């Protein structure tokens, strides 16, 4: 291969490299700036293809979407001097790409390192603000609906500072979990179990008291019903005995002799019903009056 051919190939390679380094593509999800000799000369490039000076200018990109940063568990103290573990996340995005890149990363062109530096910085501001807010509230207030108001207030306060200093907008802060620390959780649970056991004992005691009242009322009602039933039975029995006596008297008055004879037969039947019955009577006893008359005939 001749020197001219080599020169043409080399020239083509150089032209290709220059052409490749002269254009840059910015996606819709990205924010980008153009740096020249370490200084930003163009900011907020629109999505699309852009031309830059090759080998002199370079494009620094960052994620322009809404991002979520999960903050490691923080230890907070309430107004009652009780410590709790707070787990939350921060929703944020880049509002000013120039200020963002000049503030974080120490001039690094690695977007991951810049993002990590940014999240660490504004997360520290959020953590300090949260500690101040929760230190003014009790545990009950911290775990109640007020915590949403607290997080919203913290987001607004921190957002004003991060926009001005970092070019970062704090959109929202949300709690994932707020719980007692491990070393006090068991004691808290033990106290809760004790309180629930006491409540259960009180409910059982009230239940037993109500049961005794119901039993006493049932016993009283039973006694009254039995007494009334016995009274009615005795009255009906007395009326029946009176009617029977009246019937017997009427029958006796109609034929006293036959009635005496009929009663004597009943007495014989009941007295002489068994062979083991033994009577010691005088032969002329009135008991055998109708038997004697029968034998005489």
Q: What is the pLDDT of residues 180-207, one digit of tens each?
A: 776 666 666 777 788 888 889 999 999 9
Average pLDDT across the chain, whole number? 81
For 58-62, what is the mean pLDDT?
82
Residues in the chain: 297
More confident: 3 or 104? 104
More confident: 121 or 192? 121
For 26-49, what is the mean pLDDT?
80
Q: How far apart are CA 171 and CA 204, in angstroms?
A: 51
CATH number of 67-180: 3.30.479.30
More confident: 95 or 279? 95
Q: What is the structure's pLDDT at 263?
A: 76
Q: What are phi and psi of 294, to 5 degrees?
A: -70, -40
Place of tokens 């790409």: 97
The answer on pLDDT for 297 being more than 50 is no
290 falls in which pLDDT band (50, 70, 90)? low
pLDDT > 90 in the chain, percent? 27
Instruction: Tell me the two tokens of residue 167.
Output: 């070019």
Place of tokens 């239940």: 207
pLDDT tens digits, 230-282: 999 999 999 998 998 888 788 777 777 777 777 777 777 777 666 666 666 66
For 108-121, what is the mean pLDDT?
89
For 18-30, what is the mean pLDDT?
76
More confident: 294 or 68? 68
Looking at the chain, the domain(s) classified CATH 3.30.479.30 span 67-180
């Amino acid at each position: 291969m001749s020197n001219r051919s080599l020169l043409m190939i080399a020239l083509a390679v150089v032209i290709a490299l220059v052409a490749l380094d002269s254009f840059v593509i910015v996606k819709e999800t990205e924010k980008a700036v153009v740096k020249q000799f370490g200084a930003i000369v163009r900011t907020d490039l629109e999505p699309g293809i852009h031309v830059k000076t090759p080998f002199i200018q370079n494009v620094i990109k960052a994620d322009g979407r809404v991002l979520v940063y999960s903050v490691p568990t923080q230890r907070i103290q309430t107004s009652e001097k009780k410590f709790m573990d707070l787990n939350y996340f921060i929703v944020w995005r880049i509002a000013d790409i120039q200020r963002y890149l000049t503030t974080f990363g120490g001039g690094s062109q690695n977007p991951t390192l810049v993002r990590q530096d940014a999240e660490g910085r504004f997360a520290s501001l959020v953590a300090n603000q949260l500690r101040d807010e929760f230190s003014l509230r009790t545990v009950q207030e911290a775990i109640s609906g007020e915590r949403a108001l607290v997080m919203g207030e913290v987001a607004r306060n921190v957002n004003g500072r991060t926009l001005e200093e970092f070019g970062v907008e704090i959109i929202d802060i949300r709690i994932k979990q707020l719980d007692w620390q491990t070393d006090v959780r068991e004691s808290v649970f033990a106290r809760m179990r004790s309180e629930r056991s006491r409540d259960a004992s009180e409910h059982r005691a009230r239940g037993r008291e109500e049961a005794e009242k119901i039993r006493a009322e049932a016993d009283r009602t039973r006694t009254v019903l039995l007494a009334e039933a016995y009274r009615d039975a005795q009255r009906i029995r007395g009326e029946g005995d009176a009617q029977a006596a009246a019937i017997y008297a009427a029958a006796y008055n109609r034929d006293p002799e036959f009635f005496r004879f009929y009663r004597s037969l009943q007495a014989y039947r009941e007295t002489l019903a068994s062979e083991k019955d033994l009577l010691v009577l005088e032969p002329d006893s009135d008991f055998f009056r109708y038997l004697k008359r029968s034998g005489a005939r």
